[in-house]
Amino acid sequence: MKQGSRFWAWLVFGVGTTYFVLPLLATFEFSLRKRRGEYSFDAYRSVFGDPNFQATFTYSVVVAIFTILLGVLLVVPTAYWIRLRLPHLRPVVEFITLLPLVIPAIVIVFGYIRMFGSNSALPFLATARGADALLVIGYAVLALPYMYRAVDTGLRTIDVRTLTEAAQILGAGWTTIIARIILPNVLIAVLSGAFLSFAIVIGEFTMASLLNRPAFGPYLQNIGANTAYEPSALALISFAITWGCMSLIQILSRFAPRSANRPN
């Protein structure tokens, strides 16, 4: 009987792995076929050699970093304050943070274009820097559901109120409390929120395209529409980046405080 259950376990594992790995292998195999009649890394060479690849990718990474910073600055104090002082508002805030999942990005971006156009009171779109800032803000909104949930879950693992009071009575002000006590204790949660934000920003198309920003998402779309082998190479590169992020988080979380793992 033991033998049997082990067989089924391996079978399920095998089917799952095949389902996951086979398309990757197929894509990989296809991406190597750029040169007729033999396998080569030509597609990768052409992707990495494309100055547009480098420019758009760098642009999106920078935007992602700013998005994460904005998200952390916005979400950590908010989630903290809600837990500390306004716990009855939590359902409301949770609902608000879920809205970006329900409202399509295209609606948000059209709203932005109307609100912040060149002739508006706040003409974000009048300059390129302004448009970049608006993109970062838009991405922070898109990442909000993930960031808020991650941080809120992190806060649940510590006794926010007592730790705050313990720090206060020792003379600490709000900045010290958030920077030295709250943030370090929810670091793993913030990191996973950051990772999700990064993943969203790197591939995002709608906002970047409609705000006419030179981001990686529109570049991917453009390559996909105009070449044959490079999109497969790009897909695998994106995949590798995502996996790289995940392992990085795993490694970083080893150095994070052990607080959340405390048994009682």
Partner 1 sequence: MAEPFLSIQQVRKAFGATTVVQDFNLDVEPGEFVSFLGPSGCGKTTVLRMVAGFEEPSAGKIVVTGKDITRLKPNQRNVGMVFQAYALFPNLTVAQNIGFGLKVAGMPKADADRRVAEMLDLIKLPQMGDRYPYQLSGGQQQRIALARAIAPKPKLLLLDEPLSALDAKVRVSLREEIRSIQKKLGITTVFVTHDQEEALSISDRIAVMYGGKAEQVGTPFEIYNRPATKFVANFVGTLNVFEGTVTDAASGKVRVNSQEVSLQGKLNGSKSGDTLSLALRPEAISLGRHPGRDASLSGEITEVHFLGSVIRVRVGIGGSTVSLDTFNSPASPPPAVGEKAEISFSSGDMLVLH
Q: Which residues lie near partner 1 (CB under 8 A)?
A: 158-159, 162-163, 165-173, 176, 180-181, 184-185, 257-263
- Taking the least distance from each CB to partner 1, the nearer of 29 and 159 is 159
Query: In the bound complex, what is the minimum distance in angstroms from residue 185's beta carbon to partner 1?
Result: 5
Query: In the bound complex, what is the minimum distance in angstroms from residue 197's beta carbon to partner 1?
Result: 23
Contact at 8 Å (CB) between 75 and 151? yes
Taking the alpha carbons at both ends of the chain, their separation in whole angstroms is: 38
- Taking the least distance from each CB to partner 1, the nearer of 170 and 251 is 170
Backbone angles phi, psi at 104, to 5 degrees: -65, 145
CA atoms within 13 A on the CB side of 52: 14
Give CA separation, 187 vs 77, 148, 235, 254, in Å.
13, 13, 30, 11
- Taking the least distance from each CB to partner 1, the nearer of 154 and 218 is 154
Query: In the bound complex, what is the minimum distance in angstroms from residue 11's beta carbon to partner 1?
Result: 41
Give CA separation, 53 vs 141, 226, 264, in Å.
26, 14, 50
Contact at 8 Å (CB) between 186 and 155? yes
DSSP helix, strand, coil percent of the chain (3-state; round to 5): 80, 0, 20
- Taking the least distance from each CB to partner 1, the nearer of 35 and 180 is 180
- Taking the least distance from each CB to partner 1, the nearer of 188 and 211 is 188
- Taking the least distance from each CB to partner 1, the nearer of 72 and 109 is 72
- Taking the least distance from each CB to partner 1, the nearer of 34 and 83 is 83
Rounded CA-CA distance 94/37 in Å is 56
Give CA separation, 176 vs 125, 157, 179, 182, in Å.
36, 20, 5, 9
Query: In the bound complex, what is the minimum distance in angstroms from residue 190's beta carbon to partner 1?
Result: 13
Query: In the bound complex, what is the minimum distance in angstroms from residue 198's beta carbon to partner 1?
Result: 24
Query: In the bound complex, what is the minimum distance in angstroms from residue 169's beta carbon to partner 1?
Result: 5
DSSP state letters, 219-244: HHHHHHHH-SSHHHHHHHHHHHHHHH
Query: In the bound complex, what is the minimum distance in angstroms from residue 17's beta carbon to partner 1?
Result: 37
Contact at 8 Å (CB) between 151 and 186? yes
